[in-house]
Amino acid sequence: MKNHLQFDFLADKEKNTLTISREFMANRQMVWDCYTKSELLDRWFAPKPLTTKTKSMEFHEGGHWHYAMVEPNGTEYWGWIGYHKINPIDSYTSSDAFCNEKGEINTDLPQAEWVVTFTDKNENTLVETIVSYQSLADLETIIEMGMEQGMKATLEKLDELLLTLKS
Amino acid sequence: MRRDIFQAIADPTRRAIIALIAVQAMTPNAIAEHFDTTRQAVSKHLKILTECELVTQNHQGREIYYFLEIDKMKEIDHWLEQFRKIWESRFDQLDTLLATLKSQQK
């Protein structure tokens, strides 16, 4: 498949956290930019085949990123990331919530806290994201939200595609 | 109901019980022998696991045997796997973007 870039995905079912570590073949400034500039986020944040579009971005402490992930059929899932602490280019913390096109946060749905850390790994960058939910049940709700019929079917197609690519 | 599953597996003793009966169905007494806690404590755990449909009972003679519902366990791992795939996909896209940006820098 690809070269050996580190990718760890650890679910801690007791602490209700997911720790996702991924190495990228670029320097820290460039990777930081990809995570913190909306014009770059728009190009990778939504998993295929969805695309991302930004409504507003204010990357500073107390600021936010208001964005939507768009399905090929046009269905939009709006999200709001609120930025708490920012230490360029080392780390930042944020909260991740569902909202609507106006940016009104849906308080009925669970929110997650993110801690994102950037470290050098030789010439590459290692990004560690710790996603925390109040409970594992919250995490499942998030999954179910994103997993509307369409997306479920999409992931199944991705499975099939991966199978054909591997053979 | 779905919420209970995750509380159910959050407990280490219950996870150990799951591991035990995954190998073969067991009676409550046989299960309790593996733990330092009381038979009552084990019964409580089994009740919770039964309530969220992770385990089911089967009466054989006078004994009750507890079975693991494999499908439910697969459900939990399934959604974790789906979540992982989302991250994998977005990181692959980030890889591509970074490669593009680097080539533009030259």
Question: Does the pLDDT of residue B70 top 80, yes or no?
Answer: no
Q: How far is B90 from chain A (nearest CA, A)?
A: 5
Query: Is residue B77 located within the same domain as residue B44?
Result: no
Query: Is residue B24 located within the same domain as residue B37?
Result: yes
Query: Is residue B78 located within the same domain as residue B103?
Result: yes
- Tokens coding B92: 């692959």
Query: Is residue B15 located within the same domain as residue B41?
Result: yes
Boundaries of every domain in chain A: 7-50+83-96+109-166
Distance CA B27, CA B15 (A): 17
Other C-beta atoms closer than 10 Å to the C-beta of B38 total 10
> Residue B19 belongs to a domain with what CATH number?
1.10.10.10
- Best CA proximity match to A66, nearest among A82, A58, A75, A55: A55
User: Measured between CB atoms, does B85 come within 8 Å of chain A?
Assistant: yes
CB contacts of B8 in chain A (<8 Å) are none
Query: Is residue B60 located within the same domain as residue B12?
Result: yes
**What pLDDT, in 10s, does the model give residues A64-76?**
999 999 988 898 9
Nearest CB to A24; choose among B3, B88, B95: B95
Cβ(A127)–Cβ(A22) below 8 Å? yes
**What pLDDT, in 10s, does the model give residues A49-107?**
889 999 999 999 999 999 999 988 898 989 999 999 999 999 999 998 889 999 999 88
Q: How far is B46 from chain A (nearest CA, A)?
A: 19
Q: pTM for the whole thing?
A: 0.67
Mean pLDDT across A156-162? 56
Residue A81 bridge partners (DSSP):
A65, A96
CB interface of B with A, residues 22-81, below 8 Å:
79-80
**What pLDDT, in 10s, does the model give residues A14-45?**
777 888 899 999 999 999 999 999 999 999 99
- Best CA proximity match to A139, nearest among B53, B80, B84, B74: B80
Query: Is residue B2 located within the same domain as residue B48?
Result: yes
Number of domains in chain B: 2
Distance CA A122, CA A115 (A): 22
- Tokens coding B99: 């490669």
Query: Is residue B9 located within the same domain as residue B60?
Result: yes
Q: B76: nearest CA in chain A? A: A140
Residue A66 half-sphere exposure toward CB, CA atoms < 13 A: 11
- Edge to edge, what strands does the sheet with A124-132 contain? A7-12, A17-24, A124-132, A112-121, A91-99, A76-87, A64-70, A51-58
Q: How does DSSP assign A37-73, residue by residue? A: -HHHHTTTSSPTT-EEEEEEEE-STT-EEEEEEE-TT
Query: Is residue B83 located within the same domain as residue B104?
Result: yes
Query: Is residue B5 located within the same domain as residue B45?
Result: yes
Q: Which domain holds residue B48?
A: 1-68
CATH architecture observed for domain A7-50+83-96+109-166:
2-Layer Sandwich (3.30)
Question: Does the pLDDT of residue A152 top 60, yes or no?
Answer: no
| DSSP character at residue A148 | -
If interface means Cβ-Cβ distance under 8 Å, which residues of chain A face chain B? 2, 5, 7, 9, 11, 13-14, 18, 20, 22, 24-26, 30-31, 34, 40, 43-48, 135-137, 139-140, 143-144, 146-147, 155, 158
Mean pLDDT across A126-151? 71
Distance CA A37, CA A23 (A): 19
With CB atoms and an 8 Å threshold, state whether B85 touches A20. Answer: no
Query: Is residue B10 located within the same domain as residue B38?
Result: yes
Distance CA A72, CA A46 (A): 12
Query: Is residue B49 located within the same domain as residue B19?
Result: yes
Cα separation of the two ends of chain A: 11
Residue with tokens 């106006």: A102
Query: Is residue B56 located within the same domain as residue B77?
Result: no
Strands, E, within A27-166: which ranges?
51-58, 64-70, 76-87, 91-99, 112-121, 124-132
Question: Does the pLDDT of residue A156 top 60, yes or no?
Answer: no
